[in-house]
């Protein structure tokens, strides 16, 4: 009897496991397939945290199982029954101490990595800056160095740290490219920095992660990473074929619409800074004046 039941449970467990592994064990579980150093660090943290919490969760579930099976209130239950037993220094010490140790370790690594992730990944050898503005309901990418702009897609050189500078000219959103790394909010009146890097060429899914109204569900985009030379070619091509980003064009973009990907042969120097300062950028005036925008530590 017992034998047969164990067999059934194993079968169910095996079925569940295959179910979970079948579709999407591969590339589609984006968070577990990072292609850059930031995503990698975050994946390690996720795995570390899963391991640490399992130290408690698995024994809890196992104990519950055993206890509920063993101590049922049946007339001929042979197990001990001690209705008054309600204190044990040793046991209680154990389950205050074990979680404290686990949290201690996890907390320590968390703090370490939290500080590490605000710095650029690896050595900064001529990073590329991309200014990202979330609009209703689209993403505008401006390349101040290359003097071009794109909408709803962006291209980056692989193996080069990218400094995304984020703001919004609409309700807050959040810029998330899971395979490159975790997200950061785009907020009106603030310019925030997010360092990401792609180790290998490819097309990576990105989306707005923070709800921003009716068209929010359509705010996804692709980040296309190419070798440096291909990237340079792409820039040249955009420069010579795409229309310029005029003031009127920006005004059209700022309207509440959903659009297809677009490219522009010019950016608008100063547009990004203007958006930030007009939408409450007084909180960042100091940084803006220094000619560089920074994460707004201590300004909120």
Partner 1 sequence: MLYNVENFASHFFVLGDPLIYGADVSIVLVSLAIVFVLTYYKKWGWLWREWLTTVDHKKIGIMYMIAALLMLFRGGVDAILMRTQLIMPNMPFLKAQHYNEIFTTHGTIMILFMAMPFIFAMMNIAVPLQIGARDVAFPYLNAISFWLFFFAAMLLNLSFVIGGSPDAGWTSYAPLAGLTFDKGPGENYYLLALQITGIGSMATGINFFVTIMKMRAPGMTLMRMPLFTWSILAACIIIIFAFPPLTAALTLLLMDRLAGAHFFTIFDGGNPMMYVNMFWMWGHPEVYIVVLPAFGVFSEVVATFSKKRTFGYASMVASLIAIAVISFFTWVHHFFTMGAGPGVNSFFAVATMIIAIPTGVKVFNWLFTMYQGRIRTKLPMLWAIAFIPNFAIGGASGVMLAVAPADYQFHNSYFLVAHFHQVLIGGVVFGMLAGMYYWWPKMFGFMLNERLGRIAFWFFNIGFYVCFLPQYWLGWMGMTRRIYTYLPGMGWTFWNIISTFGAYLMGVGFVFIVLQILYSIRYGERDLTGDPWDGRTLEWSLPSPVPHYNFARIPEVTGRDAWWTMKEAKQKGEMQPELEPLKPIHMPNDSGRPFILSVLFFIFGFGMVFTWYPMAAVAFIGILLSLILRSFEYDTDHTLSVDEIRRTEAAYGRV
Residues 12-51 that bind partner 1 (CB under 8 A): 20, 23-24, 28-32, 39, 41-43, 45-46, 48-50
Residues 118-177 that bind partner 1 (CB under 8 A): 118, 136, 170-172, 174, 176
Using CA atoms, how far residue 95 sits from 84, 87, 90, 91, 98, in Å, is 21, 13, 9, 7, 5
* Distance in Å, CB of 17 to partner 1, minimum: 12
Among 15, 17, 111, 124, binds partner 1 (CB under 8 A): 111
From the list 121-129, 155-163, 189-197, 225-233, the region that binds partner 1 by CB under 8 A is 189-197
Rounded distance between C-alpha atoms, residue 5 and residue 282, angstroms: 68
Nearer to Cu ion, 134 or 179 (CB): 134
Nearer to partner 1, 14 or 246 (CB): 14
Nearer to Cu ion, 187 or 288 (CB): 187
Residues 224-253 that bind partner 1 (CB under 8 A): none
Nearer to partner 1, 81 or 251 (CB): 81
- Residue 106 interacts with which of partner 1, Cu ion, none, CB < 5 to 8 Å by class: partner 1
The answer to whether 199 and 35 are in contact (CB under 8 A) is yes
Residue 190, interface with Cu ion (CB under 5 A)?
yes
Q: b/e per residue, 248-277, with b = 16+ CB within 10 A?
A: ebbeebbeeeebeebbbbbbbeebbbebbb
Among 73, 229, 247, 251, binds partner 1 (CB under 8 A): 73
Among 160, 199, 274, 283, binds partner 1 (CB under 8 A): 283
The answer to whether 97 and 104 are in contact (CB under 8 A) is no
Rounded distance between C-alpha atoms, residue 168 and residue 195, angstroms: 18
Residue 187, interface with Cu ion (CB under 5 A)?
yes
Rounded distance between C-alpha atoms, residue 110 and residue 117, angstroms: 11
Residue 166, interface with Cu ion (CB under 5 A)?
no
Strands (E) across 179-280 are located at 181-186, 192-196, 202-208, 220-226, 262-264
For residue 159, the Cα-to-chain-centroid distance in whole angstroms is 19
Rounded distance between C-alpha atoms, residue 170 and residue 212, angstroms: 8
Residue 61, interface with partner 1 (CB under 8 A)?
yes
From the list 65-73, 102-110, 164-172, 187-195, the region that binds Cu ion by CB under 5 A is 187-195
The answer to whether 115 and 41 are in contact (CB under 8 A) is no
- Residue 216 interacts with which of partner 1, Cu ion, none, CB < 5 to 8 Å by class: partner 1
Residue 85, interface with partner 1 (CB under 8 A)?
yes
- Cα dihedral 227, 182, 216, 134, rounded to 10, equals -60
Residues that bind Cu ion (CB under 5 A): 187, 190
């Amino acid at each position: 009897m017992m034998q047969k039941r164990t067999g059934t449970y194993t079968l169910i467990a095996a079925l569940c496991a295959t179910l979970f592994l079948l579709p999407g064990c591969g590339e589609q579980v984006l968070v577990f397939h990072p292609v850059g150093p930031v995503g990698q660090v975050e994946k390690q943290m996720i795995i570390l945290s899963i391991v640490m919490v399992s130290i408690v969760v698995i024994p809890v579930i196992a104990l519950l199982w055993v206890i509920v099976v063993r101590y049922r209130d049946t007339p001929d239950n042979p197990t001990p029954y001690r209705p008054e037993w309600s204190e044990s220094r040793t046991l209680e010490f154990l389950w205050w101490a074990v979680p404290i140790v686990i949290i201690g370790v996890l907390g320590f690594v968390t703090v370490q990595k939290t500080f590490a992730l605000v710095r650029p990944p690896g050595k900064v050898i001529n990073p590329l800056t991309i200014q990202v503005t979330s609009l209703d309901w689209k993403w505008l990418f401006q390349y101040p160095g290359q003097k071009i702009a794109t909408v709803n897609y962006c291209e980056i050189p692989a193996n080069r740290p990218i400094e995304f500078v984020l703001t919004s000219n609409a309700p807050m959103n959040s810029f998330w490219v899971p395979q490159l790394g975790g997200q950061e909010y785009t907020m009106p009146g603030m310019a925030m920095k997010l360092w990401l890097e792609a180790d290998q060429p490819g097309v990576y899914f990105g989306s707005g992660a923070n709800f921003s109204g009716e068209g929010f569900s359509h705010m996804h985009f692709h980040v296309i990473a190419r070798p440096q030379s291909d990237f340079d070619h792409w820039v040249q091509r955009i420069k010579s074929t795409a229309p310029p980003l005029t003031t009127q064009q920006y005004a059209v973009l700022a309207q509440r619409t959903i659009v297809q990907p677009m490219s522009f042969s010019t950016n608008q120097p100063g547009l990004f800074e203007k958006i930030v300062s007009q939408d409450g950028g007084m909180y960042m005036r100091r940084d803006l004046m220094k000619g560089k925008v920074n994460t707004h530590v201590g300004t909120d």
